[in-house]
Amino acid sequence: MGANDTMEMLGLTTKQRANKSDVSNAFISLDLVLRQELMEEEKGAMNYNVIMLEHALCKIKRLTVRGVSMKDILQEI
């Protein structure tokens, strides 16, 4: 649920129109972009995989609930 909420905050899905297929496709697209854009050293340092991505999306949601701005979160990423 947190991952879906974060993808919505990032504009990758919309709550009103997103079905399971839309959410899955958005997640797959995000994963593909990150795999292309991150350098191998970066992926290795963070042990990047889809489970790590889903976990990170959930943590972003948790941070925003606790009052951390999306701008600050994205600067740290």
Mean pLDDT of 47-53: 95
Q: How far apart are CA 3 and CA 40, in angstroms?
A: 24
Give the predicted TM-score (pTM) of the model. Answer: 0.84
Name the token pair of 55: 């976990």
- For the four alpha carbons of 52, 54, 60 and 27, in that order, the dihedral sign comes to positive
- What pLDDT digit, counting tens, does each position of 15-35 carry? 777 788 988 999 999 999 999
Share of the chain above pLDDT 70, in %: 100
Q: How confident is the model at residue 47 (pLDDT cuts 50, 70, 90)?
A: very high
Query: Which residues span the domain enclosing 57?
Result: 2-76
Number of folded domains that form the chain: 1
Average pLDDT, the chain: 91
The DSSP code sequence of the chain is: -HHHHHHHHTTS--TTT--HHHHHHHHHHHHHHHHHHS-HHHHHHTT-SHHHHHHHHHHHHHHHHTT--HHHHHHH-
